[in-house]
Structure 1
Amino acid sequence: MWQRDMVFELKEAKPSERRGIIDRYRRQYGYSYEHMMRIARQHGFNSGRQTRADKGECILNNDQIDFVAAFLHTTRRENKGAIAPVENALEFAYDNGIIPRGTLAVGTMQRILRERQMDKNRQNAPTPHTEMRSLHPNHCHQVDVSTCIQYYLDEGGMSIMREDEFYKNKLENFKKIKTPLQRYVIADHFSGFFFVKYYLAAGETAENLLDFLLCAWEAKEDRRMPFRGAPFLMLMDGGCRAKAKAIGLGFWEGIGVDILQGEAGNSRRQGSVECTHNIWEMWFETRLRIDPATSLEDLNRKAFGFCLWFNASRKHTRTNMTRLSCWLTIKREQLRELPSRAELYDLMNKPEEERTVANGRISYQSKDFSLRGLGIPHGAKVTVIKNIWKWRDGILTVAWENQRYDVAVIEKLSLELGGFAANAPIIGQEYKAQPETATQKAVKRMDGLAHGSQNPAKKSIPFYGLNAFEGHVDKVANLAAIPKKGTLIEVARSQEAARITFMEFLKRLRNAMDTRITPELNRQLRDEFGESIDSKLAEEVIRAFKEGSDWRSKLAPITEDAASAGG
């Protein structure tokens, strides 16, 4: 090795000859003098010179060093990172008086930044991350969509995007492709098992995402592909997550899948599916140059077969098992089979349903659910959330005041036994009171405060002995009111004489005579007066009966007075 040869020559040479040896190797290999000396020291050369007393001491303060590093950081590119040379940063510091010009060499500044791990290489290095683990197959799935940049489909079948025709910086060339290919990939985080399908679309859509997920999670016609079932958690980037939201919250809550919140720019969070994209491009799409697809159906047929082969034959570096073998370790309770697509479509964009609580229960889809013991008051409205997995076990989720509760269906007896709730008390044998609501408990406290007992007597006076009215006049003793004149109300009196019914007249007559009225007298009086009689005439007739005089003599005067009053 030339490094060892150089060190041997340096050790054998006189101190005055060492500079010439370094310069000769510099011209041959193109390194700087400082770098050649570092190589020599790494391979055992020691010049024997006495070490400077101030070695290791930095002539710059922390703020000056941070200023140079900040220039490198803030001028970085998004993809390439820090690209400005240290010499440029030093010149900027000189111009602004941060560091006196000529204070130190560029190499010294680079060494200081390296020692403090603030150099460009450190700044461009990926930040440390925490490796996360999943619990079992189908615990967490990762989904991602990518535009296929190597191939596209046209009327003649699959074509290759030639770099000389579709240069990445010439966007007008891509306009020639009317509908590009979108590659949808889903990967199981635990086993690494993945599923791929292509779509013809200008970009990501909610419809394609839903169809892809259902294709991945449904049972396949080809039984050699056992991968299926909905996961418990999902990870996806922001674009894919937005399309998932468009499917509807009711769909995700209905199948019990929680989409975890992501962080912008953190692609390593979906590292498994990102690596799967690279694997697929290297293993599958490279073969399309040899055997291109003729249609989208043909492309997906090829992709399905290759996907099955890769998962069943290639070992995963983490598990040292094939992805298929690792996924097959899934247990029964971890594999959640999807229902029919019709039932799944019913969950999409379904509006929230409300139910009113009555006697500690609600009714939903011809079933009753018990809410006893949850503290939800009678008459409250709760939001119903139907989860297809829980629904199979007779469990419904209700939301009330930002809280969620799982409630069980009330089992019903057979029709032969009356169809009652199985837990209903039997008349004459047992009694089950409804649990007290918060309002009922508060009413008891209020009764105890007002009456001194939670079960007061009906005639009990609340707050007995406390003042309710005394002293109010004293509160307005200094109030003076100015008298106001008013207008006297003229009462309009009716000119019609008051009349009473014939039955009332007989009642008064019987009471005055203290004897019974004969049927003959009753007939005579009814023939004379009809159904009613003037009240004054009734008094005169009753007085005549009491005096024993002829009652008919009283008719003429009263009749004349009534006629004159009417005239």
Structure 2
Amino acid sequence: MNPALIERLQAVDRQAESMGRGERSAYLKQQAAELGMSLATLYRKLEAVAVKPGRKRRSDAGKSELSLDEAKLISAVLMEAMRRNGKRLMAVRQAVEMLRANGKIEAARIDEETGEVLPLSESTIIRALREYKLHPDQLLQPDPVSRMKSEHPNHCWQIDPSLCVLYYLPRHGKDTGLRVMKEEEFYKNKPKNVVKIEQDRVWRYTGTDHASGTIAVRYYFGGETSANLCDFFIYMMQAKQDTLKDPFRGVPRMVMLDPGSANTSAAFKNLCKSLDVHVQINRPGNPRAKGQVEKANDIVETAFESGLRFTEVNDIDQLNGLAERWMRYYNGTQIHSRHGMTRYQAWNKIKAEQLILPPPADYCRELAVSAPKEAKVSPDLEIRFGGRVYSVKDIKGVLVGQKLLVAKNPWETDGARVATFDADGHETWVAVPQVVFDEMGFRADAAVIGEEYKAPSHTESQQHAKELDKLAMDAETLEQAAAKRKGKAVPFGGELDPYKHQEDTLAARNTLYIERSGQQMDYNRMEVAEQVLSKVEMAKLLKPRIEAAGGDWKQAVALITKQYPDGVAASQLEAVFNQLKTAGRLKLHKTA
């Protein structure tokens, strides 16, 4: 279209927009005839030149007819019906139908024109799940991760045992060499075949130094056990045969493992406690936490175990010898992508104060086997452990009668260490000194009787008790508190009303209960006769009163005898006394 035609068509479009429906049709037919084209062609050309306003955003955009609570319920059903490998077994439509049938959700909307309740479509529900961030595709995404770093070599080690699925060493018959496991014969889903070779399967223990990336690997029989784990950890710490070619050694500050039974065993934890190594057990289902050692396992499989197919190995010691040679080669020659050095070059940057040399391997094994024991604190602030006495007076917060966890000190033959906790709740082990006794069995540092006195230091609980004593007696010193207690002073100056809370509670509630009508129960009514006082009993009761009033008791007795020969009811005694006072013949007067 030429510019003149475009300008004419735009003018026609503007004019048509200002007309009504009937007028517009007649006008467009007229313009089509003038332009020498059909009405359909005119419509098509107007569509091409017309300037259309942008589409308005819906007022309800971003809102959903499906409530958040219903979306959560649908999402929970979809996630529960999922396999552990993440495969979804239930469709959204199926989950919604099931929940509707059980009356758990409505998932419906109301038609504004008809008022009819209409069920939401599957696409609408799926869109709502995504808007709420509750769709399984969104929930199954990996959690955001934080990159972690180590401060120096031997700061953190990671250990991961793994079953060597390709190779095993049969320990029966004449065949003692390493062989490839045939998949058709020992397929992992055939339990009977797996049981046959369970004790002969080779387990690979792989460890890494987090800072340098140094890889250590060793093979074991017997599966994933605490004994194998402790042996491998001790192997990693010990100096190798030629430290100039294989420098990796020392005690790490911490070690990270998965929550397996062997990894959380008492033997391994006790070994680490005695060596001041913090054990970090990762949360289940979080492989990224020790991704470095997972990658190291893959490197060992591809760079070392792949070559075992082409050689003959007679026993596991020979296999470990080949593994050690591979470690020297790989750690000493292959460049690590993170720091741009070989792993041994990076590890060798460790400083003297960071390289903690371990005790001998035999001693480490003893630490792993002997579990810490509890020891009770005596009034002398001492404990007995291993046939010796140790002082714990310098342990912060120690109490008499408290039970402490004690273990051997790996650097002192006769030493001991006590488990304590820092401000963050982390367990630490503190060395405690041994108490030395003289030939008479006395403590060498005890005070000499009659010459000196060494007051024992107050424990934290004793100090608190003294402060509380002064607080309760409102005293500045312990002497003032003792004086107030001796004087039976009321604690806290009598300012505490022990029943104030009851009064406040009743006043605040101000509860009045509605009076309920009751029904009297039947009971056995007994006739009770009133007591009749004899003349003697009347005399005993009235004589003191008559005489106290100054009256003549003899005259009163005569009147009683005459008028009440048979006695009188107890309730009438007061009336008799008043009659005696007012009788004409009885004159009552007080003696001087």
Per the normalisation by structure 1, the TM-score is: 0.58
1:78 aligns with 2:87: no
Aligned to 1:517: none
1:297 partner amino acid: D
Aligned to 1:278: 298
In 2: Cα distance, 1:119 partner to 1:373 partner = 54
Q: CA deviation at 1:175?
A: 3.5
Residues 444-474 of structure 1: per-residue CA shift (max 9 Å, x gap): 998998x999789xxx9993699xxxxxxxx
Residue of 180, 185, 190 corresponding to 2:206: 185
Residue of 117, 122, 131 corresponding to 2:147: 131
In 2: Cα distance, 1:440 partner to 1:109 partner = 66
Aligned to 2:311: 291
Q: Does the residue aligned with 1:157 lie in a helix, a strand or coil?
A: coil
Residue of 329, 336, 341 corresponding to 2:361: 341
Query: Does the aligned pair in 2 maintain the 1:368–1:409 contact within 8 Å?
Result: yes
Q: CA deviation at 1:247?
A: 1.1
Residues 475-498 of structure 1: per-residue CA shift (max 9 Å, x gap): xxxxxxxxxxxxxxxxxxxxxxxx
Question: CA separation of 1:387/1:139 partners in 2, compared to 1, >3 Å: closer, same or farther?
Answer: farther
In 1: Cα distance, 2:152 partner to 2:356 partner = 13
Cα RMSD, aligned residues only = 5.0
1:221 aligns with 2:221: no
In 1: Cα distance, 2:469 partner to 2:137 partner = 73
Question: CA separation of 1:433/1:167 partners in 2, compared to 1, >3 Å: closer, same or farther?
Answer: closer
Q: CA deviation at 1:78?
A: 1.0
Question: CA separation of 1:85/1:439 partners in 2, compared to 1, >3 Å: closer, same or farther?
Answer: closer
Q: CA deviation at 1:180?
A: 0.9
Residue correspondence of structure 1 range 153-552 to structure 2 within 5 A: 153-154=169-170, 155-178=175-198, 179-201=200-222, 203-223=223-243, 224-239=245-260, 242-247=262-267, 249-347=269-367, 348-352=369-373, 354=375, 369=391, 371=393, 383=404, 385-386=406-407, 388=409, 391=412, 396-397=417-418, 406=430, 409=433, 434-436=456-458, 463=486
Aligned to 1:152: 168
In 1: Cα distance, 2:413 partner to 2:348 partner = 25
Per the normalisation by structure 2, the TM-score is: 0.56
Query: Does the aligned pair in 2 maintain the 1:187–1:272 contact within 8 Å?
Result: yes
2:247 partner amino acid: P
Deviation larger for 190-199 or 391-400: 391-400
Question: CA separation of 1:74/1:442 partners in 2, compared to 1, >3 Å: closer, same or farther?
Answer: closer
Query: Does the aligned pair in 2 maintain the 1:395–1:408 contact within 8 Å?
Result: yes
Question: CA separation of 1:273/1:404 partners in 2, compared to 1, >3 Å: closer, same or farther?
Answer: closer
In 1: Cα distance, 2:132 partner to 2:469 partner = 70
Residues 245-269 of structure 1: per-residue CA shift (max 9 Å, x gap): 2316543321112212432222222
Q: Does the residue aligned with 1:238 lie in a helix, a strand or coil?
A: coil
Aligned sequence identity (%): 28
Q: CA deviation at 1:372?
A: 5.7
Q: CA deviation at 1:363?
A: 8.1
In 1: Cα distance, 2:462 partner to 2:275 partner = 36
Aligned residues: 408
Query: Does the aligned pair in 2 maintain the 1:390–1:396 contact within 8 Å?
Result: no
In 2: Cα distance, 1:111 partner to 1:462 partner = 76
Q: Does the residue aligned with 1:130 lie in a helix, a strand or coil?
A: coil
In 1: Cα distance, 2:250 partner to 2:277 partner = 11
| Structure 2 residue runs without a partner (length 5+) | 1-50, 110-117, 437-442, 490-592
Residues 361-402 of structure 1: per-residue CA shift (max 9 Å, x gap): 67878787573695757x7566463564674998853769x9
In 2: Cα distance, 1:70 partner to 1:227 partner = 49
In 1: Cα distance, 2:378 partner to 2:177 partner = 61
Q: CA deviation at 1:303?
A: 1.2
Aligned to 1:493: none
Query: Does the aligned pair in 2 maintain the 1:371–1:407 contact within 8 Å?
Result: no
Residues 4-59 of structure 1: per-residue CA shift (max 9 Å, x gap): xxxxxxxxxxxxxxxxxxxxxxxxxxxxxxxxxxxxxxxxxxxx998766768468
Q: Does the residue aligned with 1:227 lie in a helix, a strand or coil?
A: coil
